[in-house]
């Protein structure tokens, strides 16, 4: 007889019960897809033989959705094998907001084929096929896959050293998986297939291109419908689409991953930079600029050569190897070393809008969100150990101001810890992680741990901002680095006259300017706040006779530093107004005969419509009250 305990104090003594049976006895089985057994995610069908603490995993919880989506990927693979005999299956994990599965299909498919696959999935779901976990000897499983020609599964088995491998079976389909999974396929009624893409086997461009099908799954119809509505809104806000329509940027075939910014896009970027520069000056930063190309030896010294080389571009100068910088920090360290520093110079806050290049695979490039060349709003702070906490709190205050106060984003914070390819000793990492966590606790900002996602040279605090339709974007980061100061042998003279090692803080707020622009486009659906709008006022004369007055108004607006355009096209007034609305211009000035004779302006707002007639002085006062963080 074993004893089982619930989180709320429930107790049950039973012999070899199933997890589901225990939860049912406690009345906790409804809406549950799996359970934590002594903290480990476990199938509901699992029979228990020893004492355990049991906690249900609800379908709508984050862990429950992971179980549903991973199970749905198996369901999709089963449906594909039914519809396309001869298909070879690869891998099918759950991902954020959904799942995918990679296949080698006998013939190409398109998104038009997804409806048929969905229909087969629905049939399998209605059949309520039991999902069973098996433990199969490694050799037996390998022989089975090789005999069936499942080359991808066989390759995966070759990489596994366990004597037995867990396999999940539902009807005529089996797949290797750690689990857990839903008890039967009837739990998978609320699924939707989303898109088809290409994906190299194991992400290696040297391997075969497989067909990847993306989908999602939810616990109920309402969750699925809300998600699909959100995705439709995301398509409407797609920064690539709006970038074309608003003439902000383009990416040409001659430079994949290297965006070209058009005049209106540059207006937005330049206003962002102007704001960035003014705010940094206010907060005690100095600005530097470092070279785009630097000697290989520098990148060996920094550790990038050993830990980041696959993401870098290279060249040769005077028969010596050089690299195009993927990060700004090594150049910043050279600036620090260029003169002797005293403890009186610290904290030293060096900011840089540095252009960096990183080699991204063509398959992951995505508009401005994932590019090969971007401008990083970097800063590197050199501090004494006693200054670490205060400087981190200062960066967090800057981040809060930019995200929440200026742009209206909500955000959450994560502490990312030591990764597998970490540089330096575990003791040094523990010291750095503790320093970051101490600052987070003092700030009072809620945070969560993101294990193993730190930079190779140090742990970091990541800021994930949330846009108006609930999507999150990782932008800002604070990285605490004890490694680089050692590698570059940087010092400062302390009060005792001796040489001491400073601590280095790497920091971004906007992150990549290009990516931040993409986020802003989607967050505001192209309707930028007045202060960064490419065109702030559109002047629209009703007839050609009003052109002279319109030009006077244009000149007056420009004298107030207002960005203004005139629409002198031979079009109807309604079309001119609609076009200005489509271009997301904050204000329109409609100038007819009455306005011309009275020296007034008929003002329209892009959201609230007609604001009535104003004098130029009243308009100037109104525009002067528009929010502008640069003033």
Q: What is the DSSP string of 541-574?
A: ESSGGGHHHHHHHHHHHHHTT--EEE---S--HH
Active site residue: 341, 358, 507, 523, which one?
358
Q: What is the DSSP string of 300-355?
A: HHHTHHHHTGGG-EEEEETTEEEEE-S-SHHHHHHHHHTS--BGGG-SEEEEEEEE
CB atoms near residue 553 (< 10 Å): 23
At the second CATH level, the architecture of 249-291+341-523 is 2-Layer Sandwich (3.30)
| 610 is an active site residue | no
pLDDT bracket for residue 37 (50, 70, 90) = very high
Q: SS3 for 352-393, per residue?
A: EEEEEECCCCHHHCECCCECCEEEEEEEEEEECHHHHHHHHH
3-state secondary structure of 477: strand
Q: Where in the chain is the domain with CATH 3.30.980.10?
A: 63-235
**Residue-wise pLDDT tens digits, 570-612:** 999 999 999 999 999 999 999 999 999 999 999 999 999 999 9
Active site residue: 43, 175, 377, 378, which one?
378
Give residue 205's pLDDT.
81
Of 127-131, 281-285, 408-412, the range with the lowest mean pLDDT is: 408-412
Q: Where in the chain is the domain with CATH 3.10.20.30?
A: 2-58
* The pLDDT of residue 8 is above 90: no
- Residue bearing the bigger pLDDT, 39 or 471: 39
pLDDT bracket for residue 455 (50, 70, 90) = confident
**E-state strands within 467-595:** 472-481, 492-493, 499-500, 503-512, 537-541, 564-566, 587-591
User: Over pLDDT 70: what percentage of the chain?
Assistant: 100
Compute the distance between CA of residue 15 and CA of residue 12 in angstroms, rounded to an integer: 10
Compute the distance between CA of residue 530 and CA of residue 559 in angstroms, rounded to an integer: 17
Q: What is the mean pLDDT of the chain?
A: 94
- pLDDT, mean of residues 80-86: 97
Active site residue: 88, 380, 515, 523, which one?
380
| 462 is an active site residue | no
Q: Where in the chain is the domain with CATH 3.40.50.800?
A: 535-624
* The pLDDT of residue 421 is above 80: no
**Residue-wise pLDDT tens digits, 457-493:** 788 999 999 988 888 888 999 998 888 899 999 999 9
| 177 is an active site residue | no
- pLDDT, mean of residues 38-44: 96
pLDDT bracket for residue 454 (50, 70, 90) = confident
Give residue 80's pLDDT.
98
Q: Does domain 63-235 have CATH number 3.30.980.10?
A: yes
Active site residue: 70, 175, 325, 329, which one?
329
CATH number assigned to the domain covering 2-58: 3.10.20.30
Exposed / middle / buried, residue 427 (Cβ in 10 Å: 0-12, 13-18, 19+): exposed
- Cα 564 to chain center, whole Å? 34
Q: Where in the chain is the domain with CATH 3.30.930.10?
A: 249-291+341-523
- pLDDT, mean of residues 210-217: 97
Compute the distance between CA of residue 424 and CA of residue 454 in angstroms, rounded to an integer: 13
| Cα distances (angstroms) measured from residue 486 to each of 318, 420, 424, 454 | 30, 21, 10, 19
3-state secondary structure of 173: strand
Of 168-172, 446-450, 532-536, the range with the lowest mean pLDDT is: 446-450
* The pLDDT of residue 362 is above 90: no
Active site residue: 70, 460, 515, 604, which one?
460
The predicted model scores a pTM of 0.85
Active site residue: 372, 506, 507, 563, which one?
506
- Identify any residues that bridge with 564 across adjacent strands, giving them in sequence order: 537
Contact between 506 and 378 under an 8 Å Cβ cutoff? The reply is yes
Contact between 162 and 138 under an 8 Å Cβ cutoff? The reply is yes
Contact between 77 and 89 under an 8 Å Cβ cutoff? The reply is yes
| 373 is an active site residue | no
Compute the distance between CA of residue 210 and CA of residue 331 in angstroms, rounded to an integer: 41
Please identify, in words, the CATH class of the domain defined by 535-624: alpha beta
Active site residue: 376, 387, 536, 583, which one?
376
| 358 is an active site residue | yes
């Amino acid at each position: 007889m074993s004893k089982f305990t619930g989180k709320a104090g429930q107790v049950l003594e039973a012999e070899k019960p199933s997890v589901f049976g225990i939860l049912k006895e406690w009345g906790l089985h409804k809406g549950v897809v799996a359970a934590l057994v002594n903290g480990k995610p476990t199938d509901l069908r699992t029979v228990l033989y020893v004492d355990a603490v049991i906690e249900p995993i609800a379908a709508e919880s984050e862990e429950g959705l992971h179980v549903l989506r991973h199970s749905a990927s198996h369901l999709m693979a089963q449906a594909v094998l039914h519809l396309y005999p001869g298909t070879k299956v690869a891998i099918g994990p759950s991902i954020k907001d959904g799942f995918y599965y990679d296949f080698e299909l006998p013939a190409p498919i398109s998104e038009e084929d997804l409806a048929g696959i969905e229909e087969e999935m629905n049939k399998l779901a209605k059949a309520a096929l039991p999902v069973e976990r098996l433990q199969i000897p490694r050799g037996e499983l390998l022989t089975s896959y090789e005999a069936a020609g499942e080359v991808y599964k066989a390759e995966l088995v070759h990489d596994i050293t366990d004597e037995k491998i867990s396999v999940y079976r539902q009807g005529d389909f089996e797949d290797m998986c750690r689990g857990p999974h839903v008890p039967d396929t009837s739990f998978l009624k609320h699924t939707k297939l989303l898109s088809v893409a290409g994906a190299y086997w194991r992400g290696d461009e040297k391997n075969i291109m497989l067909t990847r099908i993306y989908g999602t799954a939810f616990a109920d119809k309402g969750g699925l419908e809300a998600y699909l509505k959100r995705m439709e809104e995301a398509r409407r806000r797609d920064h690539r689409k709006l970038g074309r329509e608003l003439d902000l940027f383009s990416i040409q075939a001659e430079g994949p991953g290297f965006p070209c910014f058009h005049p209106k896009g540059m207006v937005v970027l330049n206003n962002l930079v102007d704001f960035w520069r003014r705010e940094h000056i206010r907060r005690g930063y100095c600005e530097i600029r470092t070279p785009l190309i630097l000697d290989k030896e520098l990148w060996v010294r920094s550790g990038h050569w050993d830990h980041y080389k696959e993401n870098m571009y290279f060249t040769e100068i005077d028969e010596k190897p050089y690299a195009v910088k993927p990060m700004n920090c090594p150049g910043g360290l050279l600036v620090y070393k260029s003169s002797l520093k005293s403890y009186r110079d610290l904290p030293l806050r060096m900011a840089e809008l540095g252009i960096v290049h990183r080699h991204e695979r063509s398959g992951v490039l995505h508009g401005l969100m994932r590019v090969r060349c971007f401008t990083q709003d970097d800063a590197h702070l050199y501090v004494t150990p006693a200054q670490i906490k205060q400087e981190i709190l200062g960066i967090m205050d800057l981040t809060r101001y930019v995200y929440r106060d200026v742009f209206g984003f909500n955000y959450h914070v994560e502490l990312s810890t030591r990764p597998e390819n970490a540089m330096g000793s575990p003791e040094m990492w523990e010291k750095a992680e503790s320093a970051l966590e101490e600052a987070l606790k003092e700030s009072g900002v809620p945070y969560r741990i993101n294990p193993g996602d730190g930079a190779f040279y140090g742990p970091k605090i990541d800021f994930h901002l949330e846009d108006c339709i609930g999507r999150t974007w990782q932008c800002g980061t604070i990285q605490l680095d004890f490694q680089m100061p050692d590698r570059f042998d940087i010092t400062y003279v302390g009060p005792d006259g001796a040489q001491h090692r400073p601590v280095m803080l790497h920091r971004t707020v906007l992150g990549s300017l290009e990516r931040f622009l993409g986020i802003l486009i989607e967050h505001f659906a192209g309707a930028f706040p007045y202060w960064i709008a490419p065109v702030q006022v559109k002047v629209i004369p009703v007839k050609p006779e009003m052109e002279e007055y319109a030009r006077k108004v244009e000149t007056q607006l420009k004298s107030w530093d207002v960005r203004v355009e005139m629409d002198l096209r031979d079009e109807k007034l309604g079309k001119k107004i609609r076009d200005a609305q489509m271009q997301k211009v904050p204000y329109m000035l409609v100038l007819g005969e009455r306005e011309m004779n009275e020296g007034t302006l008929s003002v329209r707002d892009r959201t609230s419509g007609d604001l009535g007639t104003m004098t130029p002085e009243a308009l100037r006062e109104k525009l002067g009250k528009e929010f502008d963080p640069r003033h």
